[in-house]
Amino acid sequence: MNFVGEHILSVSQFERKDIELVFEVADRMEPYANRQRITRVLQGAILSNMFFEASTRTRVSFGCAFNLLGGDVRETTGISSSAIAKGESLRDFARVLSGYSDVIAMRHSEAGSVAEFAGASRSPVINGGDGANEHPSQALLDLYTIKKELAYRNKAIDDLRIAVVGDLKYGRAVHSLLKLLAVFKSVSINLVSPPGLQVPEEISDLLKTYDHSVSFFDKLEEGISAVDILYVTRTQEERFSSQEEADRYRGLFRVNEAIYTQHCEPNTVIMHPLPRDSRTAAQELSEDLDNNPNLAIFRQTDNGILIRMALFALVLDVVDLVDKHSSPVTWNTRRRSRKL
């Protein structure tokens, strides 16, 4: 993959070397994300952040990543505040918006909608999540987190043992992550979901063609022992056709300190794309794990900035100019210590 000027719509676009390149560039973004230096490399560039479905961290971190590279961000959120509500097609919308922006990040509730939009866009488009289909930047930041967490444990992504828990049918973050894992070597994957919310066959078949070990579980306790990574997901209630259907699955799998201590290996890393559903009826990833050093959920969100900066730098072809346009920060960078 060339990256420069390309749309990023699906993780299927990436070969292993492309993923490794994104990670290398992400590492180089650390001084900027950590506010040790600032760079103005994208001064004058405009990101259109188009989020037509609920989002906090993806939207804000795309925006912050662009700002940290010196660019400006224009944001539209919600269908009702855009001309799509007046019946404008995604294609017309793309023609217009791409005339205003150097790059576009977009989230939409329909699978395939971001690709349709990109088909008419004159600027590169990054998929921020299209329905239950894909969420490439989330998968990259998840895999980058996995790589870093495993490095502390002297392990690598090849030979990884991972359990993915929850709504594997509608969870686009897991769909992209599983497809991304496919290109690594001998990954052992436990797919832990209630009957009715299993991963789409197309994805489990893909993993099998790459010769990974794929096992299916419908009991939480059985699927989470003997793994390096425990990746928990939210039931995607917004994708169900009725409230009754959503109620059927809520709170079925709950990972908490007791379950973790009893069933997981002591060093198992706990991940979640967030938001976690912490309402009493759900409690899918209990807050009683918040002081557990293996809980990596906020390291994941921090890594999201690095990955999104890397994607912008690659797509806009400024990777080697970032440092040249940099200077020390001028404000007091002493940040409050993190006790997470």
The residues that are catalytic are: 57-58, 86, 107, 135
Q: Does 58 bind ligand NCD (CB under 6 A)?
A: yes
Q: Does 139 bind ligand NCD (CB under 6 A)?
A: no
Select 41 or 125, whichever has its Cβ closest to ligand NCD: 125
Q: The sheet that has 188-192: what strands, in order across it?
A: 213-217, 188-192, 161-165, 229-232, 269-271
Select 169 or 263, whichever has its Cβ closest to ligand NCD: 169
Write the CA distances from 57 to 54, 108, 118, 138, 298, integer angstroms: 10, 15, 22, 10, 11
**326-328/37-39 β-pairing:** antiparallel
Q: Does 71 bind ligand NCD (CB under 6 A)?
A: no
Pick out residues in 207-246 that bind ligand NCD (CB under 6 A).
Answer: 234
- From candidates 68, 173, 177, 180, binder to ligand NCD by CB under 6 A: 173
- From candidates 33, 125, 274, 319, binder to ligand NCD by CB under 6 A: 274
User: Measured between alpha carbons, how far is 5 from 312 in angstroms, rounded to an integer?
Assistant: 10
Q: Does 172 bind ligand NCD (CB under 6 A)?
A: yes
Q: Does 135 bind ligand NCD (CB under 6 A)?
A: yes
Select 263 or 272, whichever has its Cβ closest to ligand NCD: 272
In the bound complex, what is the minimum distance in angstroms from residue 274's beta carbon to ligand NCD? 5
Q: Does 155 bind ligand NCD (CB under 6 A)?
A: no
Phi, psi of 68 (to 5 degrees): -65, -20
Residue nearest to ligand NCD (CB): 234
Q: Does 136 bind ligand NCD (CB under 6 A)?
A: no
List the beta bridge partners of residue 235.
none
Q: How far is C-alpha 200 from the chain's CA centre?
A: 19
User: Measured between alpha carbons, how far is 307 from 146 in angstroms, rounded to an integer?
Assistant: 13
Q: Does 57 bind ligand NCD (CB under 6 A)?
A: yes
- From candidates 71, 129, 131, 194, binder to ligand NCD by CB under 6 A: 129
Select 98 or 138, whichever has its Cβ closest to ligand NCD: 138
174 close to 233: Cβ distance less than 8 angstroms: yes
Q: Does 147 bind ligand NCD (CB under 6 A)?
A: no
Site size for ligand NCD (CB under 6 A): 10
Select 108 or 234, whichever has its Cβ closest to ligand NCD: 234
Select 38 or 249, whichever has its Cβ closest to ligand NCD: 249
157 close to 143: Cβ distance less than 8 angstroms: yes
In the bound complex, what is the minimum distance in angstroms from residue 72's beta carbon to ligand NCD? 23
- From candidates 10, 127, 138, 268, binder to ligand NCD by CB under 6 A: 138
Query: Which residues in this chain contact ligand NCD in the complex, by CB under 6 A?
Result: 57-58, 129, 135, 138, 172-173, 234, 273-274
